Amino acid sequence: MSGHSKWSQIKRQKAKTDVKKGLTFTKLSNAIVIAIKQGGGITDPTQNFRLRLAVDSARSSNMPKENIERAIQKATGKEAGNMEEVIYEGFAPGGVSVIVEAATDNVQRTTSEIKNIFNKSGGSFGQPGSVSYQFSQLGKITIDKDGKSYDEIFEAAVESGADDVEDADGEVAIYTSVSNLAKVKNDLSDKGFNITDARLWRKPNVKATVGDEEQLGKIINFIDTVNNLDDVQNVYSNLE
């Protein structure tokens, strides 16, 4: 029976992994569709930088090539007609500011799902503009240190035109203006740095600290619940 029990655990774990992978691939596919729609229908990543970011992100998540091609084809077909980007704002439990970016073909459904999570968690669903002023929209590049020092990466990033650099254990986060993201990314790549991610990002201007562990757990659970929705692309908060 112990062997059977172990096999059951493996199957359950694999099922969870497959669900998470499917959820990730759904989000990545939607990001590709939105990038093409907002890029005027341009399906060439060399001519559509947002699409290039979406495709690079899909590849780094091991999304199969055929899935990427299918998403690009979908963006040019009738299926993509109703797909649009929607942004929600509000407050998580404890008053932490939150912005949710979603890509959906049914705004009413997505709005209802997200509003329901806000209400059930003790958060507050806000109006457009209620918290967005607390965030700056930037480009964010993540580099794996890969044996290089923070000072070395910092110097190279500043030389390439970065606006800010943050050390985070084995990684370094580099922030740029949206218009300068492509240039800085390409420069750092040419210099041989291991770029693990590059994307548009909303960075909080001031971060909020939550000292109560129970409250912190509620906030993290809220963010995870929202983030696990198929339609949700990104969740930003000003949580420290």
| Domain boundaries of the chain, sorted by first residue | 2-81, 86-132+206-237, 138-203
Matching fold, domains 2-81 and 138-203: no
d(CA 198, CA 224): 22
Q: To the nearest whole number, what is the mean pLDDT of the chain?
A: 89
- The string of pLDDT tens digits covering residues 185-225 is 999 999 999 999 999 999 999 999 998 999 999 999 999 99
**Would the pLDDT of 9 be above 70?**
no
Provide the token pair at 113.
């799902």
Q: CATH code for 86-132+206-237? A: 3.30.70.980
Q: Does the predicted model carry a pTM greater than 0.75?
A: yes
Q: CATH code for 2-81? A: 1.10.10.200
Model confidence band, residue 127 (pLDDT cutoffs 50, 70, 90): very high
Mean pLDDT of 82-97: 94
Question: Tell me, what's the pLDDT at 211?
Answer: 87
- The string of pLDDT tens digits covering residues 167-176 is 988 899 999 9
- The string of pLDDT tens digits covering residues 12-26 is 554 444 445 556 899
**Would the pLDDT of 1 be above 90?**
no
Q: Around 55, how many Cα atoms within 13 Å sit in the side-chain half-sphere?
A: 18
194-198 — which CB contacts under 8 Å span 24+ positions? 194/143, 194/144, 194/146, 195/141, 195/142, 195/143, 196/60, 196/142, 196/143, 196/144, 196/171, 197/57, 197/60, 197/140, 197/141, 197/142, 198/53, 198/56, 198/139, 198/140, 198/141, 198/142
- The string of pLDDT tens digits covering residues 136-154 is 999 999 999 999 999 999 9
141 - beta bridge partners? 174, 198
Q: Which CATH number fits domain 138-203: 3.40.640.10, 3.40.50.300, 3.30.70.980, 3.30.420.40?
A: 3.30.70.980
Q: Put the strands of the sheet holding 164-168 in their side by side order.
A: 164-168, 171-176, 135-144, 194-204
Mean pLDDT of 82-88: 93
Question: Tell me, what's the pLDDT at 13?
Answer: 52
